[in-house]
Chain A
Amino acid sequence: MTTAPLAEVAASNSTLRAFLHGLPGVDRVGADARAAMLGTRSIKTTAKRQAIDLAIRMVDLTTLEGADTPGKVKAMCAKAIHPDPTDPSVPSVAAVCVYPDLVATAVKALGASGVKVASVATAFPSGRSSLEVKVADTALAVADGASEIDMVIDRGAFLAGDYLKVFEQIAAVKAACGSAHLKVILETGELSTYDSVRRASWLAMIAGADFIKTSTGKVSPAATLPVTLVMLEAVRDFLRTAGRKVGVKPAGGIRTTKDAIKYLVLVNETAGPDWLDPDWFRLGASSLVNDLLMQRQKMATGRYAGPDYFTLD
């Protein structure tokens, strides 16, 4: 890996290309095997209890549908603050994630609860629009009070090898974010190879991303363990090379407590325990929360309650 100052890396498309293609490759077979092995860790009793609460605190409760209404967002915010109304010891989730036009509603509903508001901007989910529109989209969300912006990269430009274009878009959106945190969605399902995932991760981090995120949730496959493994390796190496810590967010398809715990094990043994914190690792998921609550209650009472004992919002 080069130790050249990263500022010079983005001088031109060819320097960027040389840098990204100089990163060590990723062997798919090996990466899959490592992720599968970590998935067999057996997490029980106290460790499981701790992991469930940590996972709840890491969730970005998300609704990204065309049919979203202010009412639905308000209901989701209430759930974000008190995921289980019958048990005040359950922590709040990290954030709610909504479309830009619903940011103001969410900010108002969450008040001083400490739950953050994240918003998908930049022509989500395809990213196929002009830079002006993307910046304006971001500015709207930030102006309405979003403290986190989830942007999508231009996968077309990335796959065409136009890395500088992707870099410049991320840098411009980062500038438009002001003090808001920028999460860059790589849409790994469309990048298809792990080599591309690693390159896109580095590209996003060099351009100023605070978080790198796997997916929009609109493309299959969304988050997978091996892809998250590759991204965790990237943030770990980036900290060592550039001295800046970047967070990771797998999103889409994480539905069960068992899955969530596998991700935590991956974080613990790849990037390290420093990343086991909602500031540095998030889970983009909604249906996951109820399963976490159900498992939490099972651990406390020894019995499973039915799904009707947990709220749907």
Chain B
Amino acid sequence: MFEYAPAPESRDIIDIKPSYGLFINGEWVEPLGEGREKTVNPASEEVLAEIAVASEADVDRAVQAARKAFTVWSAMPGSERAKYIFRIARIIQERARELAVLESLDNGKPIRESRDVDLPLVAAHFFYYAGWADKLSHAGFGPSPRPLGVAGQVIPWNFPLLMLAWKIAPALACGNTVVLKPAETTPLTALAFAEICRQADLPPGVVNIVTGAGETGGALVRHPDVDKVAFTGSTEVGRQIARSVAGSRKKVTLELGGKAANIVFEDAALDQAVEGIVNGIFFNQGHVCCAGSRLLVQESVAGELLEALKRRLSTLRLGDPLDKNTDIGAINSAAQLARIRELSDAGEAEGAERWSPACPIPDKGFWFPPTIFTGVAQSHRIAREEIFGPVLSVLTFRTPAEAVEKANNTPYGLSAGVWTEKGSLMLWMASRLRAGVVWSNTFNKFDPTSPFGGYKESGYGREGGRQGLEAYLDV
């Protein structure tokens, strides 16, 4: 057998400043407040940069800049706005390698994923919505739908640049201006994106980036001059946001947690189902809101499938996110690692059986091995709560009706996967599963043309596709 020698992607191509200010009105400005946060590389705990914590006054400056720019930007013909957005998309493609390295360093995700999944999708979203900018009157929202105004957007740390693209691209295409707050643990690609806006000569104030943690996000969401709030993140924070904007005229979209069922029937293509399960829960270390964290497998093939799954997990390579052969990178933060550990321990305490492949864990950084729990019951915490880590709970079922019942028996409803070679069963399942996305013989596939969003506690509103425009138009 041959061991794969390390194949690290070079860090030389990126340039991280020791400290960053805020990006307001097309300029880098020093924050008015004193607060600073450090962003670290989760794979090594090395401090990458210091970032500003925007105070309420900073947020106000950013919103005012966006308000001023709105008059210019919304009055511009759609075809003119499209030029800017297309330009941004092309610059992202040109700088893809640099952005992928930066994303992997700051987030801990494997370079294979940031390079092959995140960045191509980021560019695709900008290209897709650039195409809509001059066709809004044909989108099915009336003859001349108007933008909303200033959008306050708060995004999570799991797909920093991709979530930025999901938020900013449709907002700009519709004629809105934006104040975006990236997560405090992963701000670097958003700050690089600010540079890209300058490179694209985007009019000042159209995109503003303020960094900081929950306080900053709260200030942005509450700001009276914000017309639209878009949030992706935890259900808990989503509830707070819904409360804080209730009764105001603000439009809101929330994309929150999930506890998706990945349902494997006995007639499924088992080898591909195994790949789909791995991709469903171990992609991005399980830091995916639509992750297939509950595997529902038909009892008749449960033994065989689990054996195949365990064998497959033994080939997963955990380690340096910048190594091109790494499949599983680092957990994003110490806090997140603690939460994954707590829930996994609860799984064991409740009587589920825990299994992980033998896999060496690096000494420094935040790591959690891929983990499977078998013998899980619907009432276990690990079957109900979102873990947001590489932890899979396995449940079994006997009939399609039972599969639907169990899959829907969750407070969430973001996504589901169905594995069967039988088309009629697939369609029967798809019409009964209460989830925003139902994947057929695949999992975690994204496309800018396809709307994404949840049922129940997974939030409301849709991002992507024609439907994604609605959230940024006065309709």
Contact = CB atoms under 8 A, between A and B. Distances in A.
Interface of A: 1, 24-27, 29-31, 33-34, 40-48, 50-51, 54, 233, 264, 268-269, 273, 276
Given A45-B5, A47-B3, A264-B2, A30 B304 contact: no
A93 B7 CA distance: 29
A3 to B, nearest CB: 10
A46 B421 CA distance: 43
Contacts of A50: 2
A54 B3 CA distance: 13
Interface in B112-161: 112, 116
B2 A34 contact: no
Given A33-B275, A40-B112, A41-B325, A24 B269 contact: yes
A47 B116 contact: no
A31 B4 CA distance: 23
Contact of A40 (B1, B268, B272, B324): B324
A1 B268 CA distance: 12
Contacts of A268: 1-2
B374 interface: no
A276 B2 CA distance: 9
A47 B5 contact: yes
B2 A26 contact: no
B442 A30 contact: yes
Interface of B: 1-7, 112, 116, 267-272, 275-276, 304, 315, 324-325, 421, 441-442
A105 B304 CA distance: 49
A30 B2 contact: no
Contacts of A45: 5
Contact of B267 (A25, A33, A47, A273): A25
Contacts of B3: 46-47
Given A1-B304, A34-B275, A269-B315, A26 B4 contact: no
B315 A44 contact: no
Contact of A273 (B1, B6, B7, B272): B1
Contacts of B304: 1
B272 A26 contact: yes
B1 A27 contact: no
Contact of A30 (B4, B6, B112, B272): B272
B4 A47 contact: yes
Contacts of A24: 267-271
Contacts of A51: 2
Given A1-B304, A40-B112, A233-B271, A30 B276 contact: yes
What are the 9 tightest A-B residue pairs by CB atom distance, in nearest-first order? Answer: A30-B272, A273-B1, A42-B7, A27-B269, A27-B272, A42-B324, A24-B270, A47-B5, A25-B269
Residue in B272, B275, B421 whose Cβ sees the most chain A Cβ within 10 Å: B272
Residue in B2, B267, B441 whose Cβ sees the most chain A Cβ within 10 Å: B2
Nearest to A33: B275
Contacts of B441: 27, 29-30
Contacts of A27: 269, 272, 421, 441
Given A24-B268, A24-B269, A26-B271, A276 B5 contact: no
Given A30-B442, A48-B5, 12 more contacts: A1-B304, A25-B268, A25-B421, A27-B272, A29-B272, A30-B441, A40-B112, A41-B325, A43-B4, A43-B5, A44-B5, A51-B2
29 contacts: A24-B268, A24-B271, A26-B271, A27-B269, A27-B272, A27-B421, A27-B441, A29-B441, A30-B272, A30-B276, A31-B271, A34-B271, A34-B272, A40-B116, A41-B325, A42-B7, A42-B324, A42-B325, A43-B4, A43-B5, A44-B6, A44-B7, A47-B4, A47-B5, A48-B5, A54-B2, A264-B2, A276-B1, A276-B2
A23 B315 CA distance: 24
A26 B270 CA distance: 8
B475 to A, nearest CB: 36
Contacts of A25: 267-269, 421
Contacts of A276: 1-2
Contacts of B6: 44
Contacts of B325: 41-42
Nearest to A277: B1
B56 to A, nearest CB: 46
B324 A47 contact: no
A50 B325 CA distance: 17
A30 B276 CA distance: 8
Nearest to A45: B5
A30 to B, nearest CB: 3
Given A42-B324, A42-B325, A29 B1 contact: no
A41 B116 contact: no
Contacts of A30: 269, 271-272, 275-276, 441-442
Nearest to B112: A40
Nearest to B267: A25
Contacts of B272: 26-27, 29-31, 34
A39 to B, nearest CB: 12
A51 B4 CA distance: 10
Contacts of A41: 4, 324-325
A180 B112 CA distance: 44
Residue in A24, A26, A46, A50 whose Cβ sees the most chain B Cβ within 10 Å: A24
Contacts of B315: 269
A273 B314 CA distance: 12
Contacts of A31: 271-272
A1 B266 CA distance: 10
Residue in B3, B112, B271, B304 whose Cβ sees the most chain A Cβ within 10 Å: B271
A43 B276 CA distance: 25
Contacts of B116: 40
B268 A47 contact: no
A268 B3 CA distance: 10
Nearest to B111: A42
A308 to B, nearest CB: 31
A29 B442 contact: yes
B447 to A, nearest CB: 14
Nearest to B2: A50
A179 to B, nearest CB: 29
